[in-house]
Copies of this chain bind each other. A is one copy, B any other.
């Protein structure tokens, strides 16, 4: 068992609110911080919505457990209060280096020496931020997936300066909040998931650009042959074509061709994937 008892989550966006709720659902005392009253009000709504989602989708959650989780959550817009007694702070603020820097500079002053700092950043490496933290040995990444109650994975990745005992504590804590904890032993951009997903999606994009086959045929082949629930073009639509464009536009020649194709055929027509109801596929109206 880890020695973590009190959890603070900074940022109550889509993923921050899920992390906070899941930790509260697992019995931890959780403080959720956001920057002002409007953000706190929005967070309270998100948490209430998550309680309903858990009741519908998580076995056992309907038996009072989803509502009990709400009682384990404290909301505040005062950072000093939020972190005063935190064993771990999970940072899920916007993916912007300036905001991260400001956040860690304040945290370094306000949090007690015992507090572990964990970033949920998807796009920055912990090494990009460790210099702001004032406690390199107690800082690492703990990376969650959207729809945390289904995709319950926590990728834990330190910097060379992270104390191995802190990595172990965070891995144990991950299991305690219902995640399958995964240790990443060296820093890797994209963690494990994107390190597999990007080459896979790129290969699919290349088949399309080269005129080998149509998206539906490529997806059918992958799904039927491997039993996976989604093919690569369904994943593109789920991730969103703007993100797909941004990743591909920074790749090799074939990837840049694919980026141009996505832009011309879809993005320029306002077709951004599932979120807009159309991308490689058409989706029913919400």
A-side residues, CB < 8 A to B, are: 145, 151-153, 155, 180, 182-186, 188, 191-193, 195-200, 202-204, 206-207, 210-214, 217-218, 220-222, 224-230, 232, 235
A130 vs B208: C-alpha distance in the bound complex, in angstroms?
A: 26
Q: Determine if B230 and A196 form an interchain contact, defined as CB atoms under 8 angstroms apart.
A: no
How many copies altogether?
2
6 contacts between A and B (CB under 8 A): A145-B225, A153-B225, A186-B211, A188-B207, A192-B212, A199-B199
- Known A180-B220, A191-B221, A200-B203; further 16 A-B contacts with Cβ < 8 A: A182-B220, A183-B217, A184-B212, A184-B217, A185-B213, A186-B210, A186-B212, A188-B210, A192-B218, A196-B200, A196-B207, A196-B218, A200-B200, A226-B229, A226-B235, A227-B230
Query: A199, A202, A204, A214 — which one has the most chain B CB atoms within 10 A of its CB?
Result: A199
Closest 6 CB pairs of A and B: A228-B228, A192-B221, A199-B203, A182-B217, A200-B200, A153-B224
